[in-house]
Each structure stands twice: as structure tokens, then as C-alpha cells.
Structure 1
Amino acid sequence: MGHDTVDSPLDMTASDSDRSRWRDTLRLVWQLARERPWPLVILITFVIVGSSRVGVYVAAEGAFVDALFTADGRLALTWALIWIATNALEELYWVVKPWLFAIVKDHAVHRFQKQVMQRAGNVPLVAFEEGPFYARLQRASDDIGGKLSNLLLSLVDTLQVFVMSASVALTLWIVSPWLTPVLILAAVPAIVLETRVASAVQEALQRHALGSHLLERIEAIVRDRNTGAELRLFGNGPDLLTRWRKTRAARADDVLDAEWRRAKAGLGSEAIRSFAFAVCVAVALWTITGQNLSIGTWVVVTTGMDWLSGILRMFAQVSRSTREQVAYAGDLFTFEEQADAFIAAERRTRGTVSAASGDVPANVVGNLDAPGIEIRNVSFAYPGGSGPVIRDLSVSIVPGETVAIVGENGAGKSTLVRLVTGLYLPDEGSIWIGGIDTRDEGAAAILGRVGAVFQDYVSYQLPLRDNIGFGDPSRDADDAALDRAARQAGVDDLIHSLPEGAGTWLGRQFGERDLSGGQWQRLALARAFYRDAGLLILDEPTAALDPKAEQALFERYAALVEDRTAIMISHRLASARFADRILVLGDGRLLEAGTHDGLMARNGDYAAMFAAQAEWYR
């Protein structure tokens, strides 16, 4: 009942090519209009009214010329005022349109940035192990502001060009019914030709999504100050540069080929439009000379044809651009659907687990201050992995016990920690904490009292106060608790040495003071101590500390967890002696369990590992 129940969202990737991109785009617009309609309605209305000015402008120009030739001063003045008004409307249009668009864009970017972040934060952690889902998340979140802006701008431009075409076409239709159909019919194959290759560049970029990510990572490695020393010492720079060049060349060849196909389509479209324009000129000359129409009519026809031909050319270009941009709507909504499917699958799993009293292990009920733990026949495999990382594992931890988990790299220690914390759900078996199954809907109550420091702890480029306070965001500002957590983790002296104390910004991205690896790690420990945790888990918490600092930390740790349940993982086996009991893992299975002295007397796997490490200190 673990992550294998959520395979369905990944199946959607197979049908991406069949998705209606326009349906996704209209869905996006509808969501924006439903939540905050007035900016979008005003923008659309303004675009329609403003774009209609072109047809009026063409008609007014022709009527003004006729009025001048007939010496009708009043009529000429009337049409001149109309012509001036249309020009004034155009000036107003280009001033107000960007303002209205900025309002709509800001709302859209805020809404969908929030949605992506919420789903990325709520999706089960195991979803990040799914390659296709993670790639979709990167595409959906990468430059979301720029992509949404381009998409909305393309949609507005499409509407604008359509209304402009309709207004000019109507004006020409009134003068000569033949002109408009010829120009429009000529534009259809041109538009079709260009839209057929419109998404070629976008598709080429999607094919090279992993390559693009590799390019970004190589560029980041070369620029990063933390990697500079190793790159120079080992001379890896040239090799990375070679990989960067080859990856970029492969992507560039594919993208440039798509650009060339798009250029050829543009040349074909232009040839068709030029031929149609020549036909229309001939039709216009025949119509005007054959029917003795006025000079003003000639002005309307020639100006209108010039406008319509240009607008139709613009329509083809805008259609191509829009076709490229709507692909992003598909990425965005597919990511949301996949994330929602993962979340729903986890909720179904939690909802189907019953914590019936008869199933609760009697020895693990305990309480929130020191819960007992029962791991029953648990197996777990990562999505796409070659096999289980945890294999039919069973073990009990009594309330208030301190347990050390040791084993070689890849034994499954960190994976087991994520299972115990409820970040992963087991594929088989169950884990009980304080009498509650971690898959149960009520598990949040007990999991909210779990504190942990992981190997890959976060160094928040924020004030030091936040680096500790994030251990319990639900707690109001509590300086006394913060000071206590800082003392327990051994960072109180650091706080006192900083110019603004706990309010000092950390890190070099935004802050004033960078820290050493050991100092960052102590802050991560303080963050765990700040939480009122009944179960405290330390996953390799001392990797950046020297042996003396590690011993001092574990002495403080032993005193801290006297009345709590604790699990710790350490690569230094000497630290395991602080535990009440030691669990030895190997290949996802429990190999041995006991006290330090008992395991040494057994002379098994633990004793062999301990002896091997001890050799390094002799």
C-alpha cells in the first residue's frame, strides 16, 4: 500500500501528444476569469474596441478623400474628425493595453506560482523519485512568470489581430465582395503551413530537456565557489567544458533544424500571400475602372488590402507564436494532474487503514512525549529501482528507548528513517508510532511530534532566528525556546558573536555572514531541538563535526533525550555506544541487534565493522 498505488499519474505522460493544448489554454483563461473577472473582461473589451478602429480608420480615410474631391467641406470635416478620433483611440490603446495586461499577468503569475509551489510542497516525497514527474515539475516551474506572460500576450495578440482582420475585411466587403475572400483564402494555407511547424522548436527543446538541465548544472558547478577548489585541483574543468560543448551542440543542431523548417514554411507563406495580393490588386483595378468608382473607393481598397495583407501576415506569425506558447499550459496542467493524483493516492492509502484497537501493538502505545515504535514486515522500493531497499524488516522500539542504526553505505538506514517519519509509506507491512499506523489519517498528530536532522539538511539563506524557528512554524515567536535549542545544539556562542544576534542574515546569497559546514549542521540540530518532539531522529547528524565535537554533541544529546524516544544514525560506530540498543542493517535487512558490549561479544557484523574503524585511530 505504498507508492506503487500511484502509478496512474505517470501513465498520463503517454497521452501527452493527444492532449488538447487549446483546451488546456482555455481552461487556464477560464480559471483566471472565474477568480478575478474584471481585469480580464476589461482587457478583452478594450482589445476588441481598440482593434476595431482599423476598419473605421480605412473607411474614414476613403470617405474623407471623396469629400475633398466633391468639395463638401462639412462632410470632409466630419470624416476628418472621425479619422482623428481613430488615431487618438490608437494612441490611447497602446498606452492603456500594457497597463491592463500587466494587471492580468500579475494575477495569473501569482495564482499559478502559488499552485505549483503548493502542489510541490504537498506531494508525497516519493513522487520526487519518479523521473517523469520530477522533469514535469521542472518544466512547469522553470521561468513560470516569463512563460505565462508570453502565453497570455500571445492570446491577447491573437484576439487583437483577429478583430483587426474582421474590421478591415468588413470594410473591403462593402466595397468589393471579391477582395476579402481572395485575401483570406490565400492566408489559410499560409497559416496552416506555419502552424504545422509552429511547435517544432518547442518540441525540440522538450526532447533535450535533460540535456538542458545538464547544461545548467555544469554551468552552476563551474560558477560555484564551493566547487572551485576541487575543479582546479583535479583539473576537471576541461572535461566538464567538453561535455557542455557536446551536449549544447546536440541540442543546437536539433533546434536549428526546427528553426530552418520554420523559416522555409515562412518563405512559402510569404510567396502565397504575395501572389494573393497581386490578384487582389488586379481585381481592384478591374472593379474600379469598370464601374467608374470614386478615388475614395480606390483609397479604401488599396489601403484596406495593404492593411489586411499585413494583418493576415501578422495573424500567421501570432498563430505560430501562440501554438508554441500553449504547450506550456499542457505542461502546467499535466504537472498539476500528476501531483493531485499522487496526493489523492496517498490520501486513499491513509483512508483505508484502520487503527482498530485490536491491531495496535501493546508495547508501542506509549504517549506523544515518548512513543513506542513497531516496524512490522516492512518492505520498500524506490520507483524505478532495481529492487527493495528495505526487505521484510521487523523491529520494536519501546517508549523512551534510544536506538542507534548502523550499517554499510546502501544498507537502507536513511530510507528506514524516512519510513519511520511517515515521509515514505511502506509497500508492504506497517509502521506504528505511539499506537498509530503511519498510513492512518490520524498519523499527523504523532508525526507532528517527530523531530529530525537529515543528512541533506537545509541551510536557509535567511536570518538565524528562522533557521531555528522553522523547526516548529506553528509555535509563536518564543525567544526562550530558541535560546534553549541553541544551547542544546551548541550554537549559543555563535549567536552572541553575531552583530545582530539571532536576527543576523546568514549565507552569501542575501546575508551578511556565512557559516562553516559544522555551524550550519549545528543550526539544523537546533531546529530539531526547537520542536517539542517526543521522537527525535538524527540521520548522520555529525558528518561535518570533528570527533571531539561529535562526542560533546552526543553527550548533550543523551541528556536531552532521557525522557524521549530517539533514533540516531552515525557512520562513526563509537557514537553508537551512547544508545540503549544498536540495530545493524545490511541489504535492507536486520542483521543484528543488541548493546555495544553484547554485539562485540557476539563477534559478528557489528564487531567486524567496529574493529575496522578502530584500526584507523591506532
Structure 2
Amino acid sequence: MPESAPDTLNDLVPSWRERLSAAGRTLAIIARTRPGLTAGIAVMTVIAALLPPAALYVSKLLIDGVVAAIESGLDADRDAAMRWVMIEAVILAVLLVVRRWLVFQKARLHAELGFAVARLILDKANRFSLAQIEHPKVQEMLIHAKQFASARPYGLIVRGFDTLQAVVTLISITALLAASAPWLIALMLLGGLPAFMGNLRFSGDAYRFYTARSPQMRERNYLESLVTNEAAARERLHYGLGAPLLERFTDLFTGMHAGDRRMQGRQALIGSALGVLGSAIFLGGKLWIVAVTIGGRFSLGQMTMLIGLLKQGQNAVNALLGAFTGSYEDVLYVTRLFVLLDLDEGRTQGRQVAGPKPGDGLRFDKVGFTYPGAPTPALRDVSFHLPPGTRLGLVGINGSGKTTLVKLAAGLYRPDSGRVLLDGLDLGEWEPTALAHRIGVMFQPHVNYKLSVRDNVEAGLGLETLSPRAMDRALAAGLAQDLVSDLPGGIETRLSKRFAEGVELSGGQWQRLAMARAHANEAADILILDEPTAALDAEAEAAFMARPLAPGRSLILISHRLSNLRAADRIILLEAGRIAEAGDHEALMAQGGGYAAMFDLQADAYRT
């Protein structure tokens, strides 16, 4: 296939080098996004890490001061104790402010980093070719990337801050413990290991479990859309599909939830056992501190400080190791993001804005094309010439290759063999904007943009603003002037019931706007219309077909209604991707071949 994508994403387990690279690239993104905000959070994180041990040390001095004041009865000792109260109050107040500030600034960072990552994903998707973005593996990668675009990169950054805070806290606690009971340092570190070992195992299990069931998640999301989407509502209600769809949704949830329960049950059981072990280690240290304090080794203030330091230290160890295991899980998902961002886009964009043979028009030269994974080609050895001012009709049964030919003619696909030329230049060498400026297309199915009428038409020029004259010309070409005049807001009317004061259109009305969009670019000298009248009434269809082409403009018209093609200069009948017949209407009817048989079949329906 023309694009590179992993053969299987569910088994994609990145190496440690890939994980470290992903972590570094995530840091680079945030450094580019808001370096000042990131530095401010880092400074406040260090302050937040130092204040709790400082508060414990002041608490020790306070308690010892209170005991001294009680024993001595001196005003100086009482005043000293009161000063320590004030100092402790200031420390705790500053700690409260710093923590609240960190919550606020991290929320800002979350939003801005999420936007930066989402923009990278959308920019990448915007550069994919049509064939590539249609590939199921690329679609799966996009779903994963969008699903974790905000949470996982932010989680990785925040856990970096958590690691910084835990390390600074541990350093300060270690310094205080070393002065009184150095062996408690080892006990503090040991107490955090059970939870760490469990979390490390759980992170890998969860990653493998949740990424392996991506197909089920896509199926669930699709079933939800069938029940909630207005486009499916008519058939769902008429055919009574709601109950069976909900039953499928329930069965899918039940199966997925059963797997959740089994995994979470194992985690709860093992996690509880490891948590009890960690608490037992802390309790042993606490009992020793109390025992030796009773024996006279420590003062009451020292005892309180040491117990607090041991608990804070164990929490810091848990936070440090938890940040490590959380980062391990986050970086697994973030690595998938960078697999997408690093995906080869499969082709380079051309740079030419004109061909070497001006006025030659569009040529297909022995063009062949096969969809990735398809057993047979969609087009085989197709050749024809479309000079300026020519009307070309394309006919054939469904699956004969008509729409594929349209995509090749618009430069959306590149042929596997042969060439598609415009003015003597291969379409792959044209700059995309210049090519789009030359070719106006109405695709089948076309997109109904849930935007304004103006946006629906101006989409044909990349949402460039059309002058009133140009807008009227495009609407007239699409037979949409009366439609727009009847709308409450004219061309500014929002076209969807999803929005307040929005208006929903019929299929034929949407098709008229799609035709207007194809005609938006007045400078386009090639117009490609794929089933432009399929949803139009007979009167509108006749009015459309009677409209003359602009001077020098050529037309490729695909239609199952062969009567629409009688005025074509040339008609091509496609069968199984090949040109089976070619000529004007009279010549093809005279041949008495496939085209004549199809035309007579349709004509008989009107005669009976």
C-alpha cells in the first residue's frame, strides 16, 4: 500500500528507547507551548515540597518549647513557644496558597497542552492523502491519539512535577532523619516498595488490556451513534431498530465489563495485600520511635517529628514510585501518539502551478489503480482525453470504477500505473491549491456541513470569502437561489437542528448546495459532477442539465440517468474498471452494445 502503518496496533509495545524518546518529545512540546508557565510550576513545586518537612521541624520545636515552658514557668520559654506557633501558622498558610496556585496553574497547563497536542494530531491528519486516511490502521491510530490527546501527555508532565516534589521532599526528610535516626531512612524507602511493585505490574496489564479491545470500543461508539444521531433516527424509529441496537450495546458492555471486573478484582486483591504490608512496615517504625521515646532517647517534640517524617517520607516514596509507574503507563500511550506523528505521509506535495502544455486539458494515460487489500484493480488501463470545452459522460453499474476515476481526476489518489495529466503535467507535480483552483468537484456522497449556507458554498474555495456577485453566481449554478431566499437568515442561516434557530434541509436541498459549492470557483476550467441530480426533482434536474457550460470549461458528468448524458460530446462506459465502450450517444446507440441496452432499459420504464 502507498502508506506505512503498523500491521497490528494492539501488539504495539514500545521499547525503552522509544518510551524515553516519547517522554523527551512531550517535554519539548510543553517547552514550546508555555515555557514560563512550566518554569513557574516547577519553582512552586519545589517550595511545596520543602514546606511540609519544615512545618514538622517547627512543630517539633513548638512541642519541645511548650514542654520547656511548662517545666520552667518562664515567660521567655512561653514567648518562644508562641513564636513557633506563629511561624508554623505562616508556613501552613504559605503551603495552602502554593497548593491552590499549583492547582490553578496546572489546570491552565492541562488546557494549553491538550490544545497543542490536538493541533499536532489535526495538522498531521490534514497532511494525509485520501488513500492513507481511509486506511483502517491509520483510523485506529487517529482514534487512540484523539482519545488520549489531552490526558496522557499532561499526565506525563504532571508526574514529572510529582517526581520533582517527591525527590525534594525525600532529600529534606532524609536530612532530618539522618540527624536523629538514620536507620529510619531505609525503613521509609522499604515501606514504599510493595505498592510500587504492584503498580508497576498493574500499569502494563492495563495498557495491554485496554489497547487490545480498541475494535470493541469502536463498535460501542458506533452503536451509540446509531441511537443518538439524527441521520439514523428515521430508519431506527421506522424499522424498530432501537431495541435490538440497545441489546447489542448491552451485550458488548457486559462482555467488556466482565473483563474490567476480572482485571480490577485482581488489582484490588493484590493491591490490598501490598498496602497492608506497607502499613505494617510504617507501624513497626512508629512502635520503635514510641518505645525509645519512653526510654528517654527522644524528646516529645522529636517523637512527633520523627513519626511525621516517617509518614511523610513513606508517602513521598509512594508518590515518587507512583509517579514512575504512572509515567510508565502514560508514556506507553504517548508513544502511540508519536508513532502517528512520525507516520510517513506517503507522498510529497507538488510545487508546480502550471503545465507545459497550456490548454491541453485533462488526460488519462493507461491509468490503473487498486485499493489497498483489494483482490482486483478498481481501474485498469484507462485512457482518454478531455480537451477544454468538452462534456464527458461516465456510465457504468455500481462498482465499475466511476467514483475512483473521479478521485484520480481530482488528484486525491495517485495511480498505481499510468499517468493523469493536466496541461501536460502529472497531477502529482501540481501544487495542491493550484490544482484545486483548476478543478471543481461535487463528490458522491457529498458532505452536508452543519454550518451556515455561506460556509457550505465557500467551502468550494477553502472557505475564502465570496463576493455577493460570486455567491449569487454559485447559488444560481446550483439552482439554490430560491432555497436560500426562503431561509430565515438567508446565506447566514445555520443548517442543523443541533443549533438554536438552525434549519434542516431535505436531501435535494443539500444537493443543490453541494452543486453550488462545486461552482464556487469561477476560475475552475474543469468541473466534475458525480451524480449531481440524484436527489433533485424532475423539474430541477431538467433545469440543471439545460444550463450551458461557461466558455472553455469542460465537464465530467457521472449519472445513472442516461438521458442526462445525451448532450455529452463523448460518453465512456466502464465495466470492471475498464473502458468497454466510448463515443457520443448516437454512435453508442448505433453499436447496440452495453450502453444501448442500458439506455433502452431505462427508456422502457417511461414508455410502459
Q: Structure 1 length as normaliser, TM-score?
A: 0.90
Indicate whether 1:246 and 2:237 are aligned: no
Does the 8 Å CA contact 1:379/1:390 hold for their aligned counterparts?
yes
- Contact preservation (8 Å) 1:197, 1:261: no
Cα distance in 1 between the residues matched to 2:487 and 2:399: 39
Measure, in 2, the Cα distance between the counterparts of 1:494 and 1:425. Answer: 37
**Structure 1 equivalent of residue 567 of structure 2:** 578
Contact 1:125 1:424 in 2 (8 A): yes
Equivalent in the alignment of 1:115 = 120
Q: In 2, are the aligned partners of 1:198 and 1:262 still within 8 Å (CA)?
A: no
Select which of 531, 543, 550 maps to 1:540: 531
- On the 8 A contact 1:130/1:384 being kept in 2, the answer is no
Match of 2:67 in 1: 69
Contact 1:600 1:607 in 2 (8 A): yes
Conserved 8 A contact 1:453-1:541 = yes
Report how far residue 202 of structure 1 moved: 3.7
Could you say which residue in structure 1 is the equivalent of 2:15?
18
CA offsets 1:303-361 (integer angstroms, 9 cap, x no match): 222333344445555555444433331232121111xx11xx3118x58x9x996xxxx
Q: Per the alignment, do residues 540 and 159 of structure 1 end up closer, same or farther by CA in structure 2, a change over 3 Å counting?
A: farther
Kindly state the Cα deviation for residue 78 of structure 1 after the two structures are TM-superposed.
4.1
Give me the whole-angstrom Cα distance separating, in 2, the residues matched to 1:51 and 1:534: 68
Percent identity between matched residues is 29
2:72 corresponds in structure 1 to none
43-52 or 299-308: bigger deviation: 299-308
- Distance in structure 1 (CA, Å) of the matches to 2:463 and 2:312: 62
2:505 is the alignment partner of 1:508: no
**8 Å Cα contact 2:49-2:168 kept in structure 1:** yes
AA partner of residue 67 (structure 2): F
- Equivalent position SS for 1:6: coil
Q: 2:541 aligns with which of 550, 571, 586?
A: 550
Task: For residues 373-394 of structure 1, give each alpha carbon's deviation from its aligned partner in whole angstroms, at most 9, with x where no partner exists.
Answer: 1111211112222232112222
The CA distance in 2 between the partners of 1:157 and 1:284, in whole Å, is 29
Cα deviation per residue 1:433-478 (whole Å; 9 max; x = unaligned)?
1221011155653343111010121212222111111211374441
Say whether the 8 Å CA contact 1:577–1:596 is kept in structure 2.
yes
Worse-matched range after superposition: 56-65 or 94-103: 94-103
Letter in 2 for 1:384: G
Distance 2:311 2:464 in 1: 68
Alpha carbons of 1:273 and 1:460: their partners in 2 closer, same or farther (altered >3 Å)?
same
Give the counterpart letter for 2:505 in structure 1: L
1:144 equivalent to 2:116? Answer no
Alpha-carbon distance between aligned partners in 1 of 2:490 and 2:111, rounded to the nearest angstrom: 37
* Structure 2 match to 1:361: none
Aligned to 2:429: 440
Specify the alignment match of 1:412 in structure 2. 401
Q: 1:474 to 1:235 in 2, by over 3 A?
A: closer
- Cα deviation, 1:16-73, whole Å, max 9, x if unaligned, reads 4336435313321222113431000001111111122111111111121112222334
Deviations, residues 231-271 of structure 1 (Å, cap 9, x unaligned) = 23333333322322222222222222221232233113202
Letter in 2 for 1:234: Y
Q: Distance in 2 between matches of 1:263 and 1:164?
A: 29
Distance change (3 Å), C-alpha of 1:191 and 1:228: same
Q: Does the CA contact (< 8 Å) of 1:172 and 1:180 recur in 2?
A: yes
Q: Secondary structure of 2:377's match?
A: coil
Question: Equivalent residue for 1:360?
Answer: none
Asked if 1:37 is matched to 2:35, the reply is: yes
Q: State the Cα deviation string for residues 521-560 of structure 1 (Å, max 9, x = none).
A: 111111111113111100122221233322221222xx13
Q: Given that residues 2 and 132 in structure 2 are in contact (C-alpha distance below 8 angstroms), is that contact kept between their aligned partners in structure 1?
A: no
Further displaced range: 237-246 or 179-188: 237-246
Distance across 2 between alignment mates of 1:436 and 1:336? 31
The 8 Å contact of residues 201 and 259 in structure 1, kept in 2 or not, is answered as no
Equivalent pairs counted in the alignment come to 597
Residue 424 of structure 1: how far off its partner (Å):
0.7
Contact 1:402 1:565 in 2 (8 A): yes
For 1:356 and 1:582, locate their aligned partners in 2 and report how far apart those are by CA, in whole Å.
26
The 1-side partners of 2:179 and 2:477 are apart by 86
1:601 to 573, 590, 596: 590
**Contact 2:364/2:419 (<8 A) preserved:** yes
**C-alpha deviation, 1:174, in angstroms:** 2.6
| 1:257 aligned residue | 262
1:509 and 1:202, CA in 2 relative to 1: closer, same or farther beyond 3 A? Answer: farther
Which of 508, 519, 522 lines up with 2:509 in the alignment?
519
The one of 476, 501, 510 equivalent to 1:487 is 476
Q: 1:146 to 1:545 in 2, by over 3 A?
A: farther
Question: Mean alpha-carbon deviation: is it higher for 208-217 or for 155-164?
Answer: 155-164
- Secondary structure at 1:383 match in 2: coil
Label 1:386 to 1:206 Cα distance change in 2 as closer, same or farther (>3 A).
same
Aligned partners of 1:404 and 1:583 also within 8 Å: yes
Matched with 2:347 is 346
Aligned to 1:610: 599
The letter for the 2-side match of 1:346 is R
- The one-letter amino acid paired with 1:520 is W
- Write the mapping of 1:47-446 to structure 2, written as runs, cut at 5 A: 47-71=45-69, 72-142=77-147, 144-285=149-290, 287-289=292-294, 292-315=297-320, 317-338=322-343, 341-342=344-345, 345-347=346-348, 365-367=357-359, 372-442=361-431, 444-446=433-435
Structure 1 stretches of 5 or more lacking a match?
358-364
Would the aligned equivalents of 1:172 and 1:300 in 2 still touch at CA under 8 Å?
Answer: no
2:515 aligned with 1:528: no
* Change in CA separation of 1:203 and 1:497 when aligned onto 2, cut-off 3 Å: same
Q: What is the one-letter code of the residue matched to 1:380?
A: F
Q: Partner of 1:431: helix, strand, or coil? A: strand
Instruction: Kindly provide the CA deviation profile for residues 105-161 of structure 1, in whole angstroms up to 9, marking residues without a partner as x.
Output: 232122112111111112111112221111111111236345555554444444444
| 1:574 CA displacement | 1.5
CA distance in 1, matches of 2:20, 2:260: 24
In structure 2, relative to structure 1, the CA distance for the partners of 1:483 and 1:260 (3 Å cut) is same
Deviations 1:491-520 (A, max 9, x none): 111222222221222211225211111111
Alpha-carbon distance in structure 1 between the residues aligned to 2:205 and 2:231: 39
Cα pair 2:355 2:425 within 8 Å, conserved: no
- 8 Å contact 1:10–1:133 — kept in the other structure? no
| Mapped partners of 2:160, 2:508: distance in 1 | 52
What's the secondary structure of 2:488's corresponding residue?
A: coil
Q: Report if aligned partners of 2:196, 2:321 keep a CA contact under 8 Å in 1.
A: yes
**Alpha-carbon distance in 1 for matches of 2:507, 2:332:** 42
Equivalent in the alignment of 2:74: none
CA distance in 2, matches of 1:544, 1:221: 23
Letter of the 1:491 counterpart:
A
Change (3 A) 1:385 1:171: farther
Judge conservation of contact 2:195–2:278 (CA < 8 Å) in 1.
Answer: yes
Q: Is the 8 A contact 2:399 2:576 kept in 1?
A: yes
Q: CA deviation at 1:169?
A: 3.7
| Residue identity opposite 2:416 in structure 1 | D
RMSD in angstroms over aligned alpha carbons?
A: 2.6
Q: Distance in 1 between matches of 2:374 and 2:260?
A: 33
3-state SS of 1:560 partner: coil
- Stretches of structure 2 that go unaligned for 5 or more consecutive residues are 70-76
Distance 1:262 1:321, change over 3 A: farther
- Provide the C-alpha distance between the structure 2 equivalents of 1:302 and 1:45, rounded to a whole number of angstroms: 28
Question: Could you tell me how far apart the structure 1 residues matched to 2:457 and 2:431 are?
Answer: 27
